[in-house]
Amino acid sequence: MLGSIETVQPKATEMPSSLSAISFRAAVMLACLSTHAVGLADHHDVYLLAGQSNMDGRGQVSDLSEEQKQSTGDAIIFYRSVPRESDGWQTLAPGFSVPPKYKGDLPSPTFGPEIGFARSMSNANPNQKLALIKGSKGGTSLRADWKPGVQGDPKSQGPRYRDFIETIRMATKQLSDRGDQFTIRGLLWHQGESDSKSSTERYRRRLEELIVRIREDVGVPDLPVVVGEVFDNGKRDNVRTAIQAVAAASSTVGLVSSEGTTTWDPGTHFDARSQLLLGERYAVAMSELPAPIPATGSSTSVQQRTDRPNVLFITVDDLNDWVGCLGGNPDAQTPNLDRFAQQSVLFNNAHCQVALCYASRASFMTGMYASKTGIYNNSSKSARDAYHRAKQMPVWFGESGYRTMCMGKIYHNDHGKKAYWDEIGPKTLRWGPEPPNGRQFTKRFGKDAQDSLAWAALDIEKGGMPDEQIAAWGIEKLDQEYDQPFFLSLGFYKPHTPMTAPKRYFEQFDRDSLTLPNVLENDLDDVPEIGRRWVLDRSKLIAEEAVKQYSPTYRRELVHAYHACVALIDDCIGQVLRKLDNSPYANNTIVVLCSDHGWHLGEKNHWRKWMPWEESTRSLLIVRTPDAAGSGQVCQRTVGLIDIYPTLAELCELSPPDGLQGLSFRKLLDNPDGPWDRPALTSTKAGNHTVRSDRWRYIRYIDGSEELYDHDVDPNEWHNLANDPSMNSIKKQHAEWIDRLTESN
């Protein structure tokens, strides 16, 4: 549900009729300073409707049923299509449209998407009054008629744009004059037929400029906007692609598809059924967009928001402990991560809650265990109601007064839902580019070996990797000014397969001298059958055997490629952190850096992740706060990524949402050796859990079989002690933790 954007109270003085867009915006902002209720005045949610003929509407009223022809509840409309002047606010009904050559009075014989839109919005919220301001005009172009030009310079603007701003001014003035309150909630835009010869890039740029200018002129920086696709007649691909791209690039812009619509003429004007359908789709799309920060005009509330710390949240995909500061491999070259760890608290024993991308991120972005969300794999099909009801971290930050921005892999499908964020960076090739000659395993083994253990040293210009582009976008965001605190999240893809990176990162290492991982040939011999099967049944040819068969040097090649990809990420993160440290935000920004889980390179005869063992569950976690007493120290406590959410709530002095299952480790940031008795819980499929304490790892499978490892003497988890009777008390203690951490789910 959209929150308040601009609430305007009636004023004693009138706005002059010649008020410009700039002064109109200023008047609206000044009106926001008055926040007292006004007797029994009505409050209207105002939506702006603009575009050309299909927004104006060419659906035939005669094709509607008698019920559909009736007025729409409490909805009202202010319609103006210059040179026809407005009749003022009217009860909404079909007929607020001016078809070609029509000279009669309103209602006319045609209608637009406003009917389906208003009915759907009223059905969703019957108690809310709707007010639609419609300023559409058939046959108009974005190139000339709707050109937004320069703010405050009418001569640079197209005539329809100037008319529309004037229409908004007239309509809102009338509401104010009659004693009503109103809130500008969003813009509906449907146009493009007249620009069908424009290139995709040109129309996209023009539409983005229009959105920016409308927001500036009504004083709502994040005004929700829904853009509609023009009908696909085979000749408008450029415009359709541009409209789709504008919606895809921003979390505050929604898209209405024209799929399934029909026209009454040759492929241009939607018929009555389709106009109703489009209106309903506009309502759905609008309801899914995030609410911007209310423009209250209160300097006190703004000061309270800006005093809160900013948050830079960085995630890395598939990064294990092969980082210098974690000591997982002596050949790691991560000077930027190591330097950052020296400025922060490094959690040396942090673990994910599921060692798989989607499930891990679903856990730490909701603060819930998989046993509660139901998400154990890379799909949401098994998600329970608890997950659907969960307050996602960026949504919660947004509702707490933060500007939320992201780029890259934050959720499994990058940004998750668009509605989670105020701003989303452009799409990239994600894990690409691919190896120029194809993926090695695929070419050699086909479907017999499913794991994509491919690599390549790329001839690619600096800045060409997706992760480099994410870093550049993050630097750009840190170079901007904000009037509210920000939650900026960057998700880096490497070292995820295919392990491709620019040659310069490969050249940092001497492949022949690299230290290979410690691999025990018969490591699965003392693992219960269910765990063995997870490794051995992944495909016809498991990755470990495929690596051996491919070539005697392939393991070393993959190790080399993994190091190169980690070096790439280290460089990218270093660039972002240097920008932050040299920015005005340096002393008021919390930085959280984590990997979503670990990664096997042959240990336990396994490659990749997902398993209940140390190589899969151990995650990088570094937290830097401006005033933490423990900065520069290492914390050995076994925290989970699930604990990040409640920790940020405490650090930002915000009330956490209900349902969080993690614990705040805020005190450990001041005293890394302080008390902390809870182990980290990780799940692998429903009913299979492992807990990692400071010393022990205990695994209990759904069939009751167990594993127990003593990390004081067996850091590689080679010797399963579960069958040793002297270990029963240790097993019982850890089994009770599994029951305790999953019992409330």
- Which residues have a catalytic role annotated? 357, 412
Q: Distance (Å, rounded) from C-alpha 314 to C-alpha 573?
A: 8
Assign 614 to helix, strand or coil.
helix
For 419, which DSSP code? G
Cβ pair 387, 436 in contact under 8 A: no
Angle at 36 between CA 33 and CA 486, to 5 degrees: 50
The DSSP secondary structure of 343-405, one letter per residue, reads TSEEETTEE-SSSSHHHHHHHHHHT--HHHH---SS-STT--HHHHHS--HHHHHHHTT-EEE
Whether the ω angle into residue 109 lies within 30 degrees of 0, i.e. cis, is no
> Which CA distances in Å does 692 have to 204, 524, 700?
51, 20, 12
Q: Residues near 333 by Cβ (< 8 Å), separated by ≥ 6?
A: 324, 508, 509, 563, 566, 567, 570
Structure tokens at 178: 């009659």
How far is 279 from 259, CA to CA, in rounded Å? 13
The alpha carbon of residue 146 and the mean position of all alpha carbons in its chain are separated, in whole angstroms, by 31
> 230: phi > 0 → left, psi -120 to 50 → alpha, else beta; which?
beta
Whole-angstrom Cα distance, residue 456 to residue 434?
A: 8
Cα separation of 572 and 469, whole Å? Answer: 9
Supply 12's token pair: 């004693």
Contact between 82 and 163 under an 8 Å Cβ cutoff? The reply is yes
